[in-house]
């Protein structure tokens, strides 16, 4: 089972009303939540580890996981509120205002993290849960304790506005990158992680030097590049689509990558270390295909396997 560890929240999406001004309609979301939902819909055995509220929004998130066949046995419930993200859309591209103080997801502690069973064979981490303490420290502790023998994918999805102590965040992120087999970054993420005038490829090489077997660099409509520590670089184009919005696009891409690696029997440490450029190309193309369906409809609404 792939266990997705991190944020689950409610995206408040602007929607036209009969009265005229836009209203905000709640949609299940969160980077890691979206990836878990997409994996479940693609038919991959998937679970989610996150903190959820017992409030009405938390119940909606829990129901969404179950409806997409995601295992919820690792969900940690509390009476704290659900994180809300108010979305602003400009030409289909999303920006966010978050309300996350004292939330069920953010206030997780290392002591609250469960011991994982052998049935968990791969881990996925990402989203704002890597920046917001104390939850960020809890997920880092879980990775340190549980990475041995399990494939790990990390998507920092860096949002500078959440980072209160840059040095502390960088140190924690470096430790997590060193324990990861796959690191997926946008070009903006990469420039933040490695500032300076180096080329994107040289910055990817610096990231690979920290320990991953594979770095995936995404550049929006320009597609994705995968670079293997063992040698080799692969580029795939983005699938053309009529864009409704980009909410959840990268999260669904991650799910497509993990799903294809699982289907090919490569989602383990040895398999990722020995990944061929041909297999990598097939994997990235599948991620792009899945993401193209998500951007064609409003909100983070990943496709089911039958839609592919």
Q: What is the pLDDT of residues 73-109, one digit of tens each?
A: 999 999 999 999 898 877 656 677 889 999 999 999 9
Q: Is residue 25 part of a domain?
A: no
* Model pLDDT, residue 11: 87
Q: Is residue 13 part of a domain?
A: no
Q: What is the pLDDT of residues 217-249, one digit of tens each?
A: 998 778 899 999 999 999 998 877 766 666 778
Q: Is the dihedral of CA 22, 28, 29, 35 positive or negative?
A: negative
Q: How many residues are listed for the chain in this entry?
A: 308
* Model pLDDT, residue 242: 67
What's the first-to-final CA gap in the chain, in angstroms? 22
- Residue 44's nearest CA partner among 74, 8, 5, 4 is 4
* Model pLDDT, residue 87: 80
CB atoms within 10 A of CB 194: 16
Domain boundaries, position 76: 2-6+30-81+109-302
Average pLDDT, the chain: 92
Residue 198: give its domain's CATH number: 3.40.1190.20
Q: Is residue 102 part of a domain?
A: no
What would the 3-class secondary structure string for 52-105 be? EECCHHHHHHHHHHHHCCEECCCCEEECCCCCEEEEEEECCEEEEEEECCCCCC
Q: Within its chain, how far is the Cα of 129 from the centroid? A: 10
* Model pLDDT, residue 243: 67
Q: Is residue 90 part of a domain?
A: no
Mean pLDDT, residues 160-182: 95
* Model pLDDT, residue 274: 96
Number of structural domains found in the chain: 1
What are the phi and psi torsion angles at 173 (to 5°)? -65, -40
Q: Is residue 229 part of a domain?
A: yes
- Residue 304, classed as helix, strand or coil, is coil
**CA distances (Å), origin 67, targets 38, 40, 62:** 11, 9, 9
Count the helices and strands in the chain (H runs, E runs). Answer: 9, 15
Contact (Cβ atoms closer than 8 angstroms) between residue 133 and residue 163: no
pTM, entire model: 0.94
* Model pLDDT, residue 18: 82
CB atoms within 10 A of CB 305: 11
Q: Is residue 19 part of a domain?
A: no
Q: Is residue 128 part of a domain?
A: yes
Contact (Cβ atoms closer than 8 angstroms) between residue 255 and residue 35: yes
Per-residue confidence band for 15, with pLDDT thresholds at 50, 70 and 90? confident
Tokens 């496709």 belong to: 303
Q: What is the pLDDT of residues 20-69, one digit of tens each?
A: 778 888 989 999 999 999 999 999 999 999 999 999 999 999 999 999 99
Contact (Cβ atoms closer than 8 angstroms) between residue 207 and residue 224: no
* Model pLDDT, residue 111: 95
Q: Is residue 16 part of a domain?
A: no
Mean pLDDT, residues 133-159: 95
Q: What is the pLDDT of residues 107-117, one digit of tens each?
A: 999 999 999 99
What are the phi and psi torsion angles at 113 (to 5°)? -75, 135
């Amino acid at each position: 089972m792939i266990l997705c560890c991190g944020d689950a929240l409610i995206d408040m999406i602007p929607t036209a009303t009969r009265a005229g001004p836009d209203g905000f309609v709640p949609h299940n979301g969160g980077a890691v939540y979206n990836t878990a939902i997409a994996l479940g819909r693609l038919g991959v055995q998937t679970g989610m580890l996150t903190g959820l509220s017992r409030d009405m929004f938390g119940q909606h998130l829990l129901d969404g996981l179950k409806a997409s066949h995601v295992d919820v046995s690792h969900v940690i419930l509390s009476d704290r509120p659900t994180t809300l993200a108010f979305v602003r859309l400009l030409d289909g591209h999303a920006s966010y205002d978050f309300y996350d103080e004292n939330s069920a997801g953010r206030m997780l502690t290392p002591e609250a993290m469960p011991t994982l069973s052998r049935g968990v064979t791969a881990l996925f981490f990402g989203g704002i849960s890597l920046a917001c303490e104390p939850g960020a420290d809890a997920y880092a502790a879980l990775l340190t304790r549980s990475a041995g023998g399990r494939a790990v994918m990390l998507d920092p999805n860096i949002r500078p506005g959440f980072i209160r102590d840059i040095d502390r965040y960088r140190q924690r992120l470096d430790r997590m990158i060193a324990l990861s087999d796959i690191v997926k970054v946008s070009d903006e993420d990469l420039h933040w992680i490695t500032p300076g005038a180096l080329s994107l490829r040289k910055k990817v090489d610096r990231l690979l030097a920290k320990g991953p077997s594979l770095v995936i660099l995404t550049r929006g409509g320009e597609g994705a590049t995968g670079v293997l520590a063992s040698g080799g670089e692969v580029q795939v184009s983005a699938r053309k689509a009529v864009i409704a919005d980009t909410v959840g696009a990268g999260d669904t891409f991650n799910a497509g990558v993990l799903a294809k690696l699982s289907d090919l029997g490569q989602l383990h440490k040895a398999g990722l270390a020995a990944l061929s450029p041909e297999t990598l190309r097939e994997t990235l193309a599948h991620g792009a295909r899945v993401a193209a369906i998500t951007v064609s409809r409003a909100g983070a609404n990943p496709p089911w396997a039958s839609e592919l």
